[in-house]
């Protein structure tokens, strides 16, 4: 039996849709994981009531900023909307530009830094731990 059919037969009601305006979620401050430069964060999924299965964020790393090296215990995606940057995962570095995504794997040590003369604007998505 399909998951959808089982859901319908069980009579479960889906959660209502949530629509979020990113302007309501914006925060300015140091970049995470090392406070290397300034960034703008749109914590979009924070507006979704718990429980939610994943996080969805937008972040602009200002010129010279970086999300410092940190270990991840989940897969994580960085998708570039604007600007250029360098992503790091366990000693490997790759250049990123708009339209490129970096899929980072659980257990890795990762970071990303802005390069060039324009902010690096990213969409970031990763799963939540159960219960969040």
pLDDT at 14: 81
Dump strand ranges (E) for 1-65: 26-30, 38-42, 54-61
This prediction has a pTM of: 0.86
In a domain, 63, yes or no: yes
pLDDT at 78: 98
Residues 46-81 have pLDDT tens digits of 999 888 899 999 999 999 999 999 999 999 999 999
At which residue do the structure tokens 């994943």 appear?
Answer: 54
Tell me, what CATH number does 68's domain have? 2.60.120.10
The answer to whether 63 and 128 are in contact (CB under 8 A) is no
In a domain, 10, yes or no: no
In a domain, 4, yes or no: no
Containing structural domain, residue 43 = 20-127
Residues 3-24 have pLDDT tens digits of 555 555 566 778 889 999 999 9
Q: Is the pLDDT of residue 2 over 90?
A: no
Domain total in the chain: 1
In a domain, 6, yes or no: no
Q: Is the pLDDT of residue 105 over 60?
A: yes
């Amino acid at each position: 039996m399909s998951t959808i059919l089982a859901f319908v037969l069980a009579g479960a009601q889906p959660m209502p849709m949530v629509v979020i305006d990113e302007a309501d979620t914006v925060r300015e401050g140091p970049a995470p994981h090392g406070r290397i430069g300034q960034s703008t964060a749109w914590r979009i999924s924070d507006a979704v009531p718990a429980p939610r299965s994943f996080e969805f964020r937008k972040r602009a790393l200002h010129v010279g900023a970086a999300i410092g090296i940190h270990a991840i215990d989940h897969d994580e995606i960085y998708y570039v909307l604007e600007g250029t940057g360098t992503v790091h995962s366990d000693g490997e570095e790759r250049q990123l530009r708009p339209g490129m995504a970096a899929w980072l794997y659980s257990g890795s040590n990762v970071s990303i830094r802005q390069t060039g003369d324009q902010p690096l604007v990213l969409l970031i998505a990763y799963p939540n731990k159960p219960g969040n």
